[in-house]
């Protein structure tokens, strides 16, 4: 008798469950749909948003660096750096002065200023080895008429790594930004 009553209660509960899952009633119930849809799309949306922001910041910093190096290199080309007693630290100050919105410029910026006998001999080789920045840089601005190559490198900290998207190109998770210009010094 108890078993019969138990089976009857199971049958009634099963019918209620099936009645609640019918397409008519279940399909019309929209409570919580927005929250579920947001939860499904929020993570990919914010991942793409942050990836776009970081990419934009890196390109902005690189363009700012390119402009700063070109403007500071003009001091060498016109002889102002040589007659003004510029050393590597003063030249780095000049580059950092012309760069916009780049934090901690002095400690992350490396400059390489070299003179060459001809443009054909100018060295634009990679400054990295095994994912690390080589630091065998020089500061030789030359004299009037010399061919000079000015290169600058900045280690930019990257923050975003999502499904293989990572802008770093150094082994310590940073992105190496670079700018270079080659010219012949004006007579001074």
Sign of the CA dihedral 124, 82, 80, 85?
A: positive
Q: pLDDT tens digits, residue range 6-36?
A: 777 777 777 776 666 666 555 565 677 777 8
Tokens linked to 58: 């890196």
pLDDT at 95: 95
Number of other CB atoms surrounding residue 89 within 10 Å: 11
pLDDT at 4: 78
Distances (CA, A) of 164 to 1, 167, 168: 64, 9, 11
Could you say which residues of the chain have pLDDT below 70? 1, 17-30, 162-165
pLDDT at 164: 66
- Between CA 161 and CA 159 the distance in angstroms is 7
pLDDT at 101: 72
The answer to whether the beta carbons of residues 75 and 94 sit under 8 Å apart is: yes
């Amino acid at each position: 008798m108890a078993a019969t009553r138990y089976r009857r209660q199971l049958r009634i509960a099963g019918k209620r469950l099936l009645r609640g899952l019918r397409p008519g009633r279940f399909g019309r119930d929209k409570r919580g749909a927005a929250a579920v849809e947001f939860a499904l799309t929020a993570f990919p949306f914010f991942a793409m948003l942050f990836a776009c922001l970081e990419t934009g910041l890196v390109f902005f910093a690189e363009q700012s660096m390119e402009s700063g190096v070109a403007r500071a290199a003009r001091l060498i080309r016109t002889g102002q750096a040589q007659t003004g007693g510029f050393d590597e630290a003063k030249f780095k100050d000049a580059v950092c002065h012309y760069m916009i919105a780049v934090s901690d410029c002095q400690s992350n910026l490396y400059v390489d200023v070299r003179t060459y006998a001809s443009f054909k001999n100018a060295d634009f080789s990679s400054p990295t080895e095994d994912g690390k920045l080589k630091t065998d840089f020089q500061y030789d601005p030359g004299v009037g008429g010399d061919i000079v190559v000015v290169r600058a490198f900045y280690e930019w900290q990257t923050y975003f790594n999502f499904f293989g998207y990572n802008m770093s190109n150094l082994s310590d998770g940073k992105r190496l930004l670079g700018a270079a210009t080659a010219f012949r010094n004006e007579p001074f």
